[in-house]
Amino acid sequence: MAQTRLAIIDMGSNSIRLVIYTIQSNGCYHELHNFKVVARLSSHTTNDGSITEQGIDIIVKTLSRFNKIIKAHQIDQVKGVATAALRLAPNQKEVLDIIKNKTALSFTVLSDYEEAYYGYLAITNSTNIEDGISIDIGGGSTEVTLFKNRKILKYVSFPFGAITLKKRFIESDPPTLEEINNLQQFLINQFSSLEWIVNTELPVVGIGGTARNLCLMHQRKIDYPLPGLHQYELQPDDIDIVQQSLLEHPFTARQNIEGLSKDRADIIIPAIQSISSLVEVTRAPVFIMSNKGLRDGIFYEELLQKIGIEQFPNVAEESFYQLSYNYQINVEHVKQVSKLASAIYKELSPYLFEKFNDEDNLKLLRYSARLIYMGEYISNEASSQHTFYLLSNMTIDGLNHEQRLAIALISSFKSKSYLLQFADPYSELLTKQQLKRYELLGAILKLAYSLNRTRRNVINKCVVNKTSKREIQLQLLCNDDFYFEEELAQKYKKHIEKLLNFNVELYFQNNN
């Protein structure tokens, strides 16, 4: 299959990063490499904002290293972008000419709108968030956008970031109460000047290193059991708790805090204060982490332009498509399983206890069917265990953490004992009612899976009839021999019988 390789170099105020992607002709893609150099260009500027000779030397040395990697991997296309440090530099042209002459690499200096736009594009193509306010805190600028119905409505790029805020407001180590109060008042005044964000009560979505470190520190602090940062959620009080713990430690001690990168220990306090102040001004109910940012937005633009769209119509569905390719999932089979599971659930719904009902059940069933026993890619012998491990340990764009854990439990369902075993490490994230729901949905999915045992789409229709007080009949209309489907279904119907306290009679009827 034809494959192209795209390299994106992001020259920010704090770091310079090289990311290499592979893109298949069928639209499947993969991040191959990600390299980062902490350059701190905002610290290598003169009073008027020009990049110093030392700063230029850091840029050239970093890009020369990147060039060797690019050549070794035979990259088809290189996109270089620069943000605030170069955008605001009076000697911008001189720096770009030196880069071109010494490395042969060309860079586009992003406008403040483009920088905000690419962050928004990353969020709306990798999460299920339709309305929100995003914040990206760089070293020398902070981008804030308002989006609704996945469309960008407003944006602003403030001429301050983590490095410049520290320079201006913080001299003490740790910062004094007066310094923090002055910083907080400045930020609240700046954000409050934007009428379109004040008291919106929309979620604040963070991208970039500050948001990532904030969430990592919180996860370590509470021993959060589920891996992954993407779409991790914090309450406003959680942000304040992390910030307070940072304020209690000097720089040397902050370097050892779990979840905090050493290269951010000196600038993390003003950066997190920016998030906290924005959450306060907007009265956001929740802060959500997006692990996809500017570079990803540029990548999505390159990928989607080729098919004439700006956004994936459905982010979760796109993730399932990518996973189907990577794990060689039989698409026609899972479509049939999804169809059968949805039909069985709808037919059973009049007989379900209240604790099993939830408006998201059908969505969870359909999502779970797309990934059922994905672990077969590794081993048929332990497909249930492998499926749960893979799904609970990977990020799935378009799904929040609760959905991801639910799908991991439903898709891997083998029996109640296995479900409880898998769920045990995550007991603090699950209620008894949720476990019962997931057990039922897993049992229905397992039955639907058995009804396509030979993967020939033998079952055309499912109808449930109540034949007595404690018995229901599942009538299955078939278009061909159903011997193996019946054999396996008779074995797996017991999970539903135990949950509903009904006998389930399976009645197969061949229409041919």
The DSSP 8-state label assigned to residue 493 in this structure reads: T
Q: Which CATH superfamily is domain 3-110 in?
A: ATPase, nucleotide binding domain (3.30.420.40)
- Cα R_g (the chain), whole angstroms: 26
Q: Name 135's Cβ contacts closer than 8 Å, sequence gap at least 6.
A: 142, 143, 144, 204, 205, 206, 207, 211, 274, 275, 278
Domain extent listing, the chain: 3-110, 113-292, 316-510
Q: Which residues of 28-40 are buried (b: 16+ CB within 10 A; e: fewer)?
A: bbeeeeeebbbbb
Label the pairing between strands 3-11 and 77-82.
parallel
Q: Which two tokens stand for residue 300?
A: 């999505």
Gap between the Cα atoms of 38 and 333, Å rounded: 47
Q: Give the CA distances from residue 278 to residues 147, 205, 232, 294, 439, in Å, rounded to whole numbers and listed in that order.
A: 15, 10, 18, 20, 40
pLDDT of residue 225: 97
Helix H or strand E encompassing 240: helix 236-247
SS3 per-residue string spanning 370-432: HCCCHHHHCCCCCHHHHHHHHHHHCCCCCCCHHHHHHHHHHHCCCCHHHHHHHHHHHHHHCCH
Predicted pLDDT of residue 13 = 85
Q: Which CATH superfamily is domain 316-510 in?
A: Hypothetical protein af1432 (1.10.3210.10)
Any idea what DSSP says for residue 451?
Answer: T
The residue assigned the tokens 């982490």 is 289
pLDDT at 1: 60
132: Cβ contacts below 8 Å, ≥ 6 apart:
123, 147, 202, 203, 204, 205, 288
Are both 3-110 and 316-510 of the same fold?
Answer: no
User: Which distant-in-sequence residues (6+ apart) come within 8 Å of 185 by Cβ?
Assistant: none
> Mean pLDDT for each 10-residue chunk of the chain (512 residues)?
90 93 92 93 90 96 96 95 92 96 96 93 97 94 96 95 94 95 98 97 96 97 96 97 95 95 94 98 98 95 90 96 95 96 93 80 96 94 96 96 98 97 97 94 97 96 89 94 96 94 93 74
Q: What is the pTM (predicted TM-score) of this model?
A: 0.93
Q: Which residue has the tokens 């500050």?
A: 210
State the Cα–Cα distance between residues 85 and 94, nearest whole angstrom.
14
Task: Tell me if the domain spanning 113-292 has CATH number 3.30.200.20.
Answer: no
